[in-house]
A and B are shown apart, each in its own frame.
Chain A
């Protein structure tokens, strides 16, 4: 853990009416793209706000770069936040927004630093625009620029893609990953979108009901979920007893396959989804599963009797 830049040790947050975060411990490696993933209300934003300094932990410690920071006000912490709605200052133009933090530090070489970040985020020529005159994507880049120009130890991003329209989101996602590699700043990214977390992160911590369920690489989280919650949250999942199988690993055929134990069932729905089809099967003896197959592969029909099977190596184990 020596190369952890940010350490949360048994952090809890109790609000007047409810407990938002329970005993969260996290160790975020220097230079990593780290995601906090979970459904809304799971405590991920409260965790982020405790790191930024907008909330004080009820118990536990926050360490940044070997220094305990949980008692410091936000303006004394070397972390910066990209807010969900970006929170750009509407009375300042782009340059004023980017210079805001530098002016507080009386930083030297301000013009050079601003020029560099404008270039990194493709904002040249927009310096004298007001936030209201920018597109959603441009506003997001100004929010990033305003924080990154301060070279924070950790950049906190609170669902920064959720305010963008879906078309733009995928493009910006790729740019964000690229930006993080180029600037080398540690990113702590909060999201409820598992696809975002999987595609961007070096490491993911999945949160549920104020606690961390599992921490690991995207592959570990997706392929070896340790809890039923993680398994279901990371993607569609068929549960056959205690065994979880992803739809894309679930096989169906008209005849029982040789060598594999298969379960008979009846097709209840076949949904065409472009490049693939979802076949919903009601198993004999109860339960229903979805199998994802290539479109046009077989042409299963409603009411047909089929056999459902999977390779034991694709089982996600008996999750607790």
Chain B
């Protein structure tokens, strides 16, 4: 389940007013989220939630829901 905060971080980073993000939405469906911008989104998420991802953890994410789960699991470990 995509939280409001998580969604807002992504939209702010990509300068989007609004965009419907669901668990199975993939990065390339979101306007502006291309391979170059990808890293900025990841850094923004890390900063907003004060977590640190391992490279392989992010690479394994196949959709935005998986990234949300990754954030959740990092927050639980805290």
Specify whether A and B are partners.
no
B residues neighboring A (CB under 8 Å): none
